[in-house]
Structure 1
């Protein structure tokens, strides 16, 4: 089991003919992902070829979905056009749009969020590394890799990972794999202040997934999304959860890398979020290197096996 995507999920890639989109299309194909279509306006009728796989390119998302049955899109579209690329997925009725693009203007994302209200399509991102559901092959191949996360560090298993930070997602995944465990799905939700899917959204999916036995939640300074998720976990989650909050040494008021990682008040500091995590029964990792061990401590306290 997994959440959001499976090895059978058919995906399209918007921006497949660009250097970045094309490179990650190749890596996803090598991983075993069912890349069935590309979308680049004006290049419909051409093909993207890699290692014997011939992917047709379409002018629009609607055309690609109708012709191939793709239900998910990965968006590698430049920032000025990425908002409209997301809305193309909504118009086509896709299940999921995963926007990797960094630097989309906030006003564009506000427009996109408003337009997506009540829509079937779920958005992951923007400014995110995407998702991976590992397969059972060597190097976890045969799974579904959507975005830019390194597939080879994953291993099929029972730990769910959700994170605002791409690199900390990879760190947690690698630690879990190094412990001989594995992941059900890893989800990078992105660091922008206006995004499509929150920590809480993903936590609810992991809690409902019978094959996810433990969860690692990685957050940052800024905003209240982690606190919202922690309160829900305390009241509803039946599984062991470990958490880490990045930015403990960041000075107040200083923007730190991610567009959303800025402290606006007392409650969005790392210290405040860590205190809420502890209050809500989440095992806190004091450093990034402690994330997998923190989950193992949480699992032991609950008498849960993560194997």
Structure 2
């Protein structure tokens, strides 16, 4: 079992005819992902990378039975692209686009209440179930199949953690990038719940960063509900207060959202936190050895 996607997932690429989307579509297909359709308004009836292009998501879904969409649409139009995926009643929409106006996302979030579709992102790298399905922009070759769940606000830190695990013969069940924007679709808690219920995930790495209180809320949830060990890392420890860093959500305001505060809460909730990015893998290995599940987590 895996979280959110597997080898049977059928994927639509929204904005497929753009240069970035084309590049990553090719990578996804080469990885083995079932990319069944693309959508670019006005380009319906054409074909790219052997994939049929449709004018609308609705038409693509009816024709192919797709259940997931990945969105590479430019920021001014990305919110509409998400809404189109929601209206087509897809299981999951993954929005890679960054710089979507916060007000647009607030409207999207309100519209999605009570709807079937789960949104991942925006401003995220996507997600991957190794050797089954890769949807997004992550480098596929660093991932190996296994039992560690990874959830992160940062794309590059996800790759760093995954690469460290793979180097040590520790595979991953699914790696999920939830994105770095202040208003997003899927939270740490949503993904932790999925890992908690997944028989194939034995332990979890949660990678957060400064800004907001999502990590603290997730830590409290872990303390109250999680049946599996969780290891943490918080990026941005050296960031000056009040300065916006890279991710739109990574801003410390009114003393809240500092790395120090987040690490304190994670530790209080029983989550061991790696001091630097280069120690994420070894921290996880230390914890799974303490829990007596190291051998089970090794990729034999």
Q: TM over 0.5: same fold?
A: yes
- 2:114 corresponds in structure 1 to 118
Question: Counterparts in 2 of 1:118-157, with a 5 A limit?
Answer: 118-135=114-131, 143-157=132-146
Q: What TM-score, normalized by structure 2, do the two folds share?
A: 0.97
Provide the rounded CA distance (Å) in 2 between the counterparts of 1:279 and 1:107.
Answer: 35
Deviation, 1:300, is 2.0
Counterpart in the other structure of 2:154: 165
Contact kept? 1:191, 1:261, Cα under 8 Å: yes
Offset from partner CA, 1:17-75 (integer Å, 9 cap, x none)? 110000000000000000000000001111112xxxx2111000000001001000000
2:9 matched residue in structure 1: 9
How many residue pairs get aligned? The number is 296
Which of 67, 70, 81 in structure 1 is aligned with 2:66?
Answer: 70
Cα displacement (A) at 1:7: 1.3
Instruction: Tell me the residue number matched to 1:194.
Output: 183
The aligned residue for residue 248 of structure 1 is: 237
For residues 178 and 299 of structure 1, the distance between their equivalents in structure 2, rounded to whole angstroms, comes to: 16
Deviates more, 1:266-275 or 1:86-95: 266-275
Which of these residues, 86, 89, 93, is aligned with residue 85 of structure 2?
89
How big is each residue's C-alpha offset from its partner over 1:63-95, in whole Å with a ceiling of 9 and x where there is no partner? 000100100000000001000000001100000
Q: Which residue of the partner structure matches residue 32 of structure 2? A: 32
Q: Secondary structure at the match of 2:78?
A: helix
Q: Is 1:104 matched up with 2:93? A: no
The Cα of 1:200 is off from its aligned counterpart by 0.8
Q: Which runs of 5+ in 2 are unaligned?
A: none
| C-alpha contact 1:282 1:298 (8 A) present in aligned 2 | no
Shift of 1:240: 1.2
Please list, as runs of the form range in 1=range in 2, the aligned pairs for 1:179-218 lying within 5 A after superposition: 179-218=168-207
Q: Give 3-state SS (helix, strand or coil) of 1:190's partner.
A: coil
Indicate which of 235, 252, 268 corresponds to 1:263.
252
CA RMSD of aligned residues (A): 0.8
Contact map agreement 1:215 1:240 (CA 8 A) in 2? yes
Moved over 3 A (4+): none
1:301: Cα distance to partner?
2.2
Q: Which residue of 2 aligns with 1:139?
A: none
Please give the per-residue CA displacement for 1:171-197, whole angstroms capped at 9, x wherever unaligned: 011011011011100000000000000
- Scaled by the length of structure 1, the TM-score of the pair is 0.95
